[in-house]
Amino acid sequence: MIQDLDIKQKDKYYLLFIIIFTTVLVAYYIKFNINLGIYCSDVYVYLLNSIYYTGKNIHSTSNIYLSPVICFITSIFFRMGFVDRTVIYIVTGAFAILGNIGFYLLLKRYFNETMSLTGTIIYSASTLYLTWLANGTLDIPANTMTIWIVLFSIIAIKNNPKCYKYLFTLFVLGVFTRYSVMIVLPAIMLYYVYEKGFKIESEDKKYIIKGIEIAAILGVIVLAILLIMGSGQFGAGYQISSGITGQQGSELDPAYNADESYYLMNLPNFISNSHTIIKGNPILENPTVLSWAIFAILLIGAGLWLYDNKRKLNKKDGIVITLIIITIATFSHISSFITILLSLLTLFLMGKDNENKTGYFMAGWILTNFIFYSYYSIKVNRYILPVFPPLIYFILMGITQIHNHLKINKSFIPIILIVLFIIQAFAFTSTFDVNDEFRHPEEMSKYIVDNDPHYDTVSIGAYNLRPYSWWLGENVVGIVNSNQTAIDESNVTYYISNKQLDKLNNYDEIKNMGNLYLYKKSV
């Protein structure tokens, strides 16, 4: 397997630099995230799930299906006595390091060492990536699994069919890291058809069957564990079916956004921005000159490529144009699944007789994610992270086109970009409007623990179960703060609210921290 990665002696020095850079970057962002506090409440779910894997269930039954890979790895450290949120920061940060190694090796199949390093630095220092780096969320680990899945897909299809055994195992692990990893599968199938046609070759077949058998056994084992721990519930099943059938998210969700251009219009902010605020989720604003320079490289590169490959239209182009029109027309009107199929069919017709099949595969990787997430009405900027690896492929192709047409040192643009993005990687934290809001749940919980030695024997009500179940334990119960009568008539000793309550008769306010208010039952 190692030899299939084709790591040359020179690559080892570049990989060492990537490992050192990413490790330092991860450590820097772990410290930043500890000081900032947990601003994505999903992280509390993963922490509670990790506790469940050690044998203690704290309100995790219905959510245990979420990322068994990350949560199980985190639970190993919990079993060793390191029960702290920092553990999941370290685990997700370690996945970032693995992802950057894999991305360099993927790029190295198409570019030289310097260009591959450039792409890896751009990827790991883009502001959207940095926003979610080493903070316990799943998106960067999922991207890591996707990158390695794509890398082994290319190796298996083009070089060594024995790698299908590793590929299918990686795919199952990727899906159980974050279920959306399966969105890359249609693009991989497109690549297979490009290289091998619609019929599975005999030399591939036995390894594909073997890989499926191993993956199926692994998948059944993990699924059985999740069903047992989840008391027969498996919430991902509904999510997956909703994605295929094209169901939209609820308008009650705070991340509801019907704007289908959201990800496209915000893409410049996701590469480099100068102002970041957190309102439920981080909002990246004000793209920088560096972001526009990247888009200039993309546009100039595309223009030069079109100039070099200009040709007359033929009958096949008419079919392609028709399919493009139909694809656009179906977008948001039928389902993302249908639109993705139409877009991949279009790419197949465009690329089947073209030498640059990799470019069309990368375009398919981008389109499947862009279509799926743009169509879905629940929009969070981190969802679009999977388009960054293939997008960076096109950025590097743009640089290559510029080098082919201009007599400049071929290291000039890559080195400038490496330096600027490394500076951005460590300067990005200064763009945040930081306050203590996301540390208050921990501090309010600590106040209860410090002032009531019997806190773990009484019921504590909270407007949000997630953070307080982690900080205070299984004696926390959820009660919405909009129903003050229910709070007043409950038997909880304490109630934590994120707004001041003025109609309580049986509770007194005893502590206020920013937008958090602590009430205690009157004697």
* pLDDT, tens only, 182-238: 999 999 999 999 998 888 888 889 899 999 999 999 999 999 999 999 988 887 766
pLDDT of amino acid 325: 84
Report CA 364 to chain centroid distance, whole Å.
18
The band of 506, judged by pLDDT with boundaries at 50, 70 and 90, is: very high
Range of weakest confidence among 346-355, 374-383, 492-501: 346-355
**In the predicted model, is pLDDT for residue 67 greater than 70?**
yes
Contact at 8 Å (CB) between 512 and 518?
yes
**In the predicted model, is pLDDT for residue 74 greater than 60?**
yes
pLDDT of amino acid 93: 98
- Give the predicted TM-score (pTM) of the model: 0.94
* SS3 letters across 253-268: CCCECCCCCHHHHHHH
**In the predicted model, is pLDDT for residue 311 greater than 80?**
no
Contact at 8 Å (CB) between 382 and 180?
no
* Distance in angstroms (rounded) separating the CA atoms of residues 152 and 262: 32
**In the predicted model, is pLDDT for residue 379 greater than 60?**
yes
The band of 73, judged by pLDDT with boundaries at 50, 70 and 90, is: very high
pLDDT of amino acid 241: 61
- Mean per-residue pLDDT, 393-402: 96
120 phi, psi to nearest 5 deg:
-65, -40
pLDDT of amino acid 238: 64
Report CA 241 to chain centroid distance, whole Å.
20
Residue 472 makes CB contacts below 8 A (sequence gap 6+) with: 445, 448, 449, 455, 456, 460
Range of weakest confidence among 76-85, 228-237, 509-518: 228-237
Contact at 8 Å (CB) between 347 and 360?
yes
409 versus 241: which is more confidently predicted?
Answer: 409
Angle at 355 between CA 349 and CA 360, to 5 degrees: 50
- Mean per-residue pLDDT, 357-368: 94
- Mean per-residue pLDDT, 327-346: 82
* Distance in angstroms (rounded) separating the CA atoms of residues 90 and 27: 8
- Mean per-residue pLDDT, 375-401: 94
**In the predicted model, is pLDDT for residue 246 greater than 60?**
no
> Residue 178: left if φ>0, alpha if ψ -120 to 50, beta else—which one?
beta
Range of weakest confidence among 93-107, 215-229, 302-316, 423-437: 302-316
- Mean per-residue pLDDT, 425-451: 94
**In the predicted model, is pLDDT for residue 294 greater than 70?**
yes
The band of 396, judged by pLDDT with boundaries at 50, 70 and 90, is: very high
114 versus 239: which is more confidently predicted?
Answer: 114
**In the predicted model, is pLDDT for residue 70 greater than 70?**
yes
- Mean per-residue pLDDT, 351-362: 87
The band of 281, judged by pLDDT with boundaries at 50, 70 and 90, is: confident
pLDDT of amino acid 332: 66
Half-sphere exposure of 309 (CA within 13 A, CB side): 10
- Mean per-residue pLDDT, 273-302: 94
**In the predicted model, is pLDDT for residue 317 greater than 80?**
no
Range of weakest confidence among 19-23, 145-149, 288-292, 342-346: 342-346
Which range scores top for mean pLDDT: 29-38, 338-347, 370-379? 29-38
The band of 465, judged by pLDDT with boundaries at 50, 70 and 90, is: very high
- Mean per-residue pLDDT, 274-289: 93
- Mean per-residue pLDDT, 294-303: 95
DSSP H stretches of helix in 127-275: 127-131, 139-158, 164-175, 185-196, 202-229, 235-245, 262-271
The band of 125, judged by pLDDT with boundaries at 50, 70 and 90, is: very high
pLDDT of amino acid 50: 97
What is the chain's mean pLDDT, rounded?
92
**In the predicted model, is pLDDT for residue 56 greater than 80?**
yes
Q: How many CB atoms lie within 10 A of CB 440?
A: 19
**In the predicted model, is pLDDT for residue 353 greater than 80?**
no
* Distance in angstroms (rounded) separating the CA atoms of residues 237 and 14: 41
pLDDT of amino acid 420: 98
Q: What is the DSSP letter of 243?
A: H
Q: How far is CA 429 from CA 119, 273, 439, 506, in A?
A: 21, 11, 17, 44
* Distance in angstroms (rounded) separating the CA atoms of residues 163 and 214: 13
- Mean per-residue pLDDT, 481-486: 92
